[in-house]
Every structure is written in structure tokens, then in C-alpha cells.
Structure 1
Amino acid sequence: MRTLLTLLLFWSAHSLAEQPVLRFSVAESWSMPLIRIENGQPVEGLLFDVMQAAAEQAGVRAEYHVMARMRLEEAMNQGDIDVRCYVSDQWLMARPKDFIWSVPLIHQRDVLVGRIGEGGPISPQRLSPQPIGTVLGYTYTTLEPLLAAHRLYREDSRSQELALQKLQAGRYRYAVSNQLSLRWFNHQRHAQLQPLAVLDEQDLGCLVRNDPDIPAQALLRALVRLKQSGEMERLLQRYGSTEEPQPAGTGT
């Protein structure tokens, strides 16, 4: 019996060792419900579940590289990562040459957020000059003209969660957040933060290195199956994505 267990453990370890490894990037600025990082590695969250499920279906072992968000594009160009998820083409400085887009996985809305009592829907163009809570390294296309004209001033935080914490504590009157993170924050902290305007919407997917030495197509097919099977939608619902009335106006 002991010999059989030893052989099974050996075969299991040997099988894992033979699996191709894909290097997934993880942005330090991500927080729940997207991901939770512990001791330098992701351990739970929507994106962790998506990447783990896709890697398992593709028959590869996921290796996670946690880095600053502003380093992600450089890491892609230098060949330091194979897969970058939770990305839009609007966020890239240049079109990636050696990467293939996956199917869109998440439809995201970025919203202007205020505390309950700040009033109803409001366009950012109507705000008086003041600081606004933002996340370090993120670009907010709709707000860029207001930031460039010094009508609004960025107050950057390391993560979306920290930006919302500061808003709740009264460090500023308004912040920018994606709706998924806002719902999670309100639910987990019994907070009273509300969306006031939709600033932007985008479809987010993954970029996979187009390299014959890695199973890129297997991973892309796995992401298609996650989407078509309904598993992606189930994961989104698990982490709090439910349709709700949208704030009036888009801030444009």
C-alpha cells in the first residue's frame, strides 16, 4: 500500500512538472473582488478563478507574476509574461505586436462615485475644481480634459479599495470606480457609496503571447469555453455582478 501511494505521488508530481507553464501577469493595484494577494501571490478573487479555470482547461500550469500596473506593458514587450488578463485596447499605449486577443470576458462600467447624501446623478463637467479619488497608473479618458485644465486633480491610491476607503472617510467628495468593485466594497463594509454618473464602458479580455513554444491557442479556446458555457457569468454573479439601475447620463 505504501509503495502504491509513493508511486501515485511520484506520477502526480511528474505530471505537474511536465505541464507547460504560462506566466500570467497580476497588477499590484487589483483588489477584491478582482483578486486578493497574500505573501506576494494571488489566492482568491474573480480574476484568479478565471485564470486558474482557463489554465486547468488548457492543460497548463499558471505561474503568477505580480507587478506594478505601469510595468505591465513593458513586461509584455520584453517577453516577461505570456498572458495579461483584465485589459482593454483603450488602455494600451500601442497595439501589442506579438499577442492575440481573447474573446471579451467582462463588460465593465467606470462610474463617478459619491457618498449617500451628495445628491443625485451629476456630470463631472459640472463639478467645481477639487481633488478626485483615482488609482495609480489608471487612465480615465473621460476625465482627461478636466484634469488637463486643472478643473479636477487626481488623488492617487495604490488600489481601487483604498480609493473608496478614502472617499468613505471624507478625504474627498468624489472618486472613480468600476461598478463591480463598488458593489463589493458597499457589501463588505456596509458602506454608503453611490454611483453618480457612468464615465466609461469597455469590454475586457486577455492578451496571450503568440509564440509557438507555448500553448496559446489552447488557452484561447479555454477562454472561449468559459464564456460560452456560462461559467464566466456564474463567476461574475458570485463576485457581485448584478444588473441595477444606472445613474443618469454618461458624463460626456
Structure 2
Amino acid sequence: MSAAAHAETLVVLVASSVDMPMADIRDGKLHGGVHLDLGQALARKLHRELVVQVLPRKRLEGALAAGRADILCTYQPEWLEGKHAWTQPFFPQSDLLLTALSAARPHTVADVRGQPIGTVLGFAYPELERALGAGFVRSDVASSVANLQKFRLGRIRHIVVDKAIYDYQARIGMGLNAHPPLVVMHQLTRCAVSTRSKIPLSEIDGAITQLVREGAIQKILSNYQ
């Protein structure tokens, strides 16, 4: 499905490896979560019908570049290859480093240099790459929840996880024997906009400005806290 063929839609991409609270993906379709709520809010502001495409992480850039979708949200330019337009920063995201109680508590990211860190396949971690260099030893799994389960089973001593996912999984009862988390990064992420989209970047930015002003972004997040 292309954005060009559906001029009155907003086609949003979501990675198939994303977990709750960001995305409730079942049978290849998005049924709930932050990405659905955010997509619906943007579509309402743009007076368009929301269409969601769930794709593997490594196919997102191609779909966006080819104009098969309009936007991909909660990303940064350094996380995504290709030439895309970018909205204003607006969506808060934090990455946490979790360390098992069986290991020494790190006081800085540099303290885990050379040790395997649980990561998600296809995801970029530029802050860890800059801090650890060649000492950033990735141990990839398919999703953040798989990463947390691997950690809980004692199969890895360090993992990096999105704070929203960590908080949500803790809330629903996933017990983790871990030291207090170490914040790897905190920033405002953006939406990548296809250069072939029929929706002007200025319109999408205008919709985002309205949502931020109305407190809608924080309300979406608070629904899962």
C-alpha cells in the first residue's frame, strides 16, 4: 500500500520487534499501545484515516524511502539510514542499563566495557557505541521482552532497555533482580517523514505542535504508567 495511492490516509510504520507498552502486535497487526494511540492522535489532527504497517526493523527504511508509508515515529536521524525529512523533537525516550544483582553495580556505562550487553536485533545504540567503542559487546535477541526474560533467567548480566518498556513490564509483574537502573540516555525523539509522502512536513509538525500544547503526548504515556 502506498501513501500516493491513498491520499486521505496517514500510513504509519511500526517495527515488528517493538513490545508493550509501545506496541501490542499480534498476528502481524497492531492492536494497541503507544504507537497506535500516537498514530490515531496524529491522524485525527491531520483529518486522515490511520493505516498501520508492521514490518521487520530492517525493512522500515526501504518502505519509507519508497513512499509505501508516510511516517515512522519515536526515532532519531542517527538511528535510520537513508534520506528522510524529520519532524521536531517531541516524544520523550530514555534507555536504561540494567545490571543483575549477581554482578557489581556499575556507576557509569564505562564500567561494563567488554562485557556482553543484551540488545535488540537491528536496533542502534549510538550512546553505548560512543561510550564503549570496541568494548561494546552486543548480545542480540528479537525483542525487548525477550531481552528482559533472558536477563530474568540469569542468562545475561547486563541489558539495555527502553524505560517505558521496563516500567510497564515491572508494573505487570515481571520480577527482575537488578541494581537500580543506570540512565544511558534521555532525549526527545522525532518522526521520520517519507520524502515521497503527500503530506507536507509542515502539516505533520503542526499536528505535533497541537498535540504537545494540549498535553496529549504525556496523556498517551500516562495511560501505560
Of 115, 138, 157, the residue aligned with 1:173 is 157
Of 58, 76, 91, the residue aligned with 1:88 is 76
Cα distance in 2 for residues equivalent to 1:110 and 1:91: 14
Which residue of 1 is the match for residue 111 of structure 2? 126
Cα distance in 2 for residues equivalent to 1:200 and 1:31: 19
After superposition, give the CA deviation of every residue in 1:131-155 in whole Å (9 maximum; x if it has no partner). 2100011111233267763x44321
Normalising by the residue count of structure 2, what TM-score does the alignment of the two structures yield? 0.85
Does the 8 A contact of 1:208 with 1:220 survive in 2? Answer: no
Cα distance in 2 for residues equivalent to 1:123 and 1:92: 27
Does the 8 A contact of 2:118 with 2:140 survive in 1? Answer: yes
Does the 8 A contact of 2:66 with 2:196 survive in 1? Answer: no
Letter in 1 for 2:169: F
Of 57, 61, 78, the residue aligned with 2:45 is 57
Letter in 2 for 1:189: G
Of 109, 119, 129, the residue aligned with 1:144 is 129
Which residue of 1 is the match for residue 97 of structure 2? 112
After superposition, give the CA deviation of every residue in 1:159-218 in whole Å (9 maximum; x if it has no partner). 111111111111100000121111111111242344442222332121233557446544
| Structure 2: runs of 5+ lacking an equivalent | 1-5
2:69 aligns to what SS in structure 1? coil
After superposition, give the CA deviation of every residue in 1:30-80 in whole Å (9 maximum; x if it has no partner). 110101012221111112101111112211111111111122112222222
**Identity %, equivalent residues:** 30
Cα distance in 2 for residues equivalent to 1:49 and 1:32: 12
1:122 aligns to what SS in structure 2? coil
Is the radius of gyration larger for structure 1 or structure 2? 1
Q: Does 1:20 align with 2:8?
A: yes
Aligned length: 219
Normalising by the residue count of structure 1, what TM-score does the alignment of the two structures yield? 0.77
Residues 116, 231 of structure 1: alpha-carbon distance in 2 compared, 3 angstrom cutoff? farther
Does the 8 A contact of 1:87 with 1:205 survive in 2? Answer: yes
Of 42, 61, 75, the residue aligned with 1:73 is 61
Does the 8 A contact of 2:67 with 2:196 survive in 1? Answer: no
CA RMSD of aligned residues (A): 2.5
